[in-house]
């Protein structure tokens, strides 16, 4: 079941009314409803993989309780390693078995030997990368005694499978989300309205921006050899807006839906395309994953402490692992390495924390320096996205090679004026709302009620108009 489907538009109101009118007298009943609703939501895709979520939840729930009673250091470490081994083992098998198998075979071929490996016909469970990291962080935090393990199995299982963010995040920490399942939740009209606004903006990003861009991107990347350089550049830019509208749109819908049920999820995107350097971009893009790697990998490795060599090593590890997390393809690893190279000068010259504030904060227009910084950062990001979107390394290299040809300054063969206008309006609204948590959070608050409702009606009309071009969420594949 996906957010931009008819099924979800029926599912959500039913769960909402049962939650607030049938089970509102008991937290346990509400949690139980959320648990079964989440399992139903996931089973709509493939019920067989419910067993995987249940098994993963059971393992980490039991390990959490064992860690509570275990005082021996070796036993505690063994329990943690068990959790890591099982979680990463499942993720590795479903997501990376064929990648390692094929890479192993290719390595032998390059050495002049023939070595055939078997390829398994494995279906990648939707959202496995997200809920695996969520349960894993719980075990690590319990091990480090940052949080106390819960004895409420219904609350824990609901935390792992919470349907708004189950499939594509945000990747929540137990320290933030789990306690919310143990607190009484009262319906708050203003929070619900705010949640609906964020859902509306998320659907606009996904249906109007991302799905329209996807049609053009798919055509250009599939037929790049027959297009001019300028068209290929346009295709890469459109993909940048596709992936942002798609993924941040999902996050907005997830966060807004959670607010309807009285839950607060972390912000996952903070207007990343207005970043003035790559370090700022990664503080604003997929925040839940970036902070996860920072806290559970980068800092334990030493972070930015120690010698220059160790700092450089840690940066490359964190970006390569981030790339590999996205998928079993060398293109993602190259994408990660490229971002590491982007980040490196900032680290070496200690300028990676120069832009902690918002671009042109408190002002309508940025300075010329900020415009140049935003443009250069966006350009580097767009170039890296080519590897992310390409089918394989050869596809990416061929695409880039074709960009640097004689047709670089020609008029693009594809120039969809309506979509470009929609993107420009979208960027303008995002710029005006960049100091909020999402584009339209505060944008119409000071307008007359009639103007505010007209703006919402226009957004709804655009969503309905373009809803026929439904495209699957990109991050479902990760």
* Pair of tokens at residue 175: 């320290």
Q: In 3D, which of 208, 233, 211, 207 has the Cα closest to residue 220?
A: 233
State how far the Cα of 70 lies from the Cα of 65, in Å rounded to an integer.
Answer: 9
Alpha carbon 93 to its chain centroid, in Å, reads 22
Residue that has been written with the tokens 């839940």 in this structure: 288
Q: Give the residue among 398, 272, 270 at the shortest CA–CA distance from 331.
A: 398
- Euclidean distance between the first and the last CA atom of the chain, given in angstroms as a whole number: 16
Residue 19 to residue 260: CA distance in whole angstroms:
10
Active site residue: 284, 326, 402, 434, which one?
A: 326
Place of tokens 């090679």: 401
Whole-number Å distance between alpha carbons of 98 and 123:
11
What is the 8-class DSSP label of residue 166? T
Both tokens assigned to 256: 């807004």
Q: Which residues contact 51 (CB under 8 A, 6 or more apart)?
A: none
Could you confirm whether 326 is annotated as catalytic? Answer: yes
Copy the structure tokens of residue 159: 């935390």
The whole-angstrom distance between residue 179's C-alpha and the CA centroid of its chain comes to: 23
Angle formed by the axes of helices 189-203 and 229-260, to 10°?
A: 160
Q: Look at residue 329 and give its three-state secondary structure.
A: coil
Ordered DSSP codes for 223-275: TGGGS-HHHHHHHHHHHHHHHHHHHHHHHHHHHHHHHHTT--PPP----GGG-
Cα-atom radius of gyration of the chain, to the nearest Å?
A: 23
- Say how far apart CA 154 and CA 35 lie, in whole Å: 7
The catalytic residues are: 326
């Amino acid at each position: 079941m996906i957010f931009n489907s008819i099924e979800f538009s029926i599912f959500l109101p039913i769960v909402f009314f049962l939650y607030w009118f049938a089970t509102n007298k008991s937290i346990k009943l509400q949690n139980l409803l959320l648990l079964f609703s989440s399992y139903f939501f996931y089973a709509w895709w493939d019920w067989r993989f419910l067993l995987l979520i249940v098994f993963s939840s059971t393992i980490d729930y039991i390990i959490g309780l064992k860690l509570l009673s275990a005082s021996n250091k070796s036993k505690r470490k063994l329990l943690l390693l068990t959790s890591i081994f099982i979680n990463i083992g499942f993720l590795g098998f479903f997501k990376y078995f064929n990648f390692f198998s094929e890479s192993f075979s290719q390595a032998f071929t390059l050495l002049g030997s023939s070595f055939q490996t078997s390829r398994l016909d494995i279906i990648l469970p939707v959202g496995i990368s997200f809920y695996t990291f969520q349960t894993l962080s719980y075990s690590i935090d319990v091990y480090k005694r940052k949080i106390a393990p819960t004895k409420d199995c219904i609350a824990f299982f609901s935390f792992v499978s919470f349907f708004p963010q189950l499939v594509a995040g945000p990747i929540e920490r137990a320290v933030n989300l789990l306690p919310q399942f143990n607190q009484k939740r009262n319906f708050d009209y203003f929070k619900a309205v705010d949640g609906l606004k964020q859902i509306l903006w998320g659907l606009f990003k996904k249906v109007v921006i991302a799905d329209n861009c996807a049609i053009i991107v798919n055509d250009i990347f599939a037929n790049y050899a027959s297009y001019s350089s300028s068209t290929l550049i346009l295709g890469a830019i459109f993909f940048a807006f596709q992936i942002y509208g798609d993924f941040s749109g999902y996050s907005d819908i997830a966060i807004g839906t959670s607010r309807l049920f009285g839950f607060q999820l972390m912000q996952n995107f903070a207007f990343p395309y207005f970043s003035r350097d790559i370090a700022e971009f990664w503080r604003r893009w997929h925040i839940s994953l970036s902070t996860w790697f920072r806290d559970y990998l980068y800092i334990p490795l030493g972070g930015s402490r120690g010698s220059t060599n160790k700092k450089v090593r840690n940066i490359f590890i964190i970006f390569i692992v981030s790339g590999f997390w996205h998928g079993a393809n060398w293109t993602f690893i190259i994408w990660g390495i490229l971002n590491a190279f982007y980040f490196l000068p900032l680290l070496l010259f200690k300028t990676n924390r120069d832009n902690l504030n918002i671009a042109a904060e408190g002002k309508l227009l940025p300075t010329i320096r900020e415009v140049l910084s935003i443009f250069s950062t966006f350009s580097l990001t767009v170039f890296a996205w080519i590897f992310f979107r390409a089918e394989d390394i050869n596809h990416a290299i061929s695409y880039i090679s074709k960009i640097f040809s004689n047709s670089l300054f020609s008029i693009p063969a594809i120039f969809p004026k309506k979509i470009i206008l929609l993107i420009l309006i979208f960027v303008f609204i995002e710029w005006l709302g960049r100091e909020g948590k999402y584009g339209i959070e505060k944008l119409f608050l000071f307008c007359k009620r009639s103007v505010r409702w007209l703006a919402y009606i226009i957004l709804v009309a655009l969503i309905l108009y373009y809803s026929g071009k439904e495209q699957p969420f990109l991050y479902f594949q990760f």
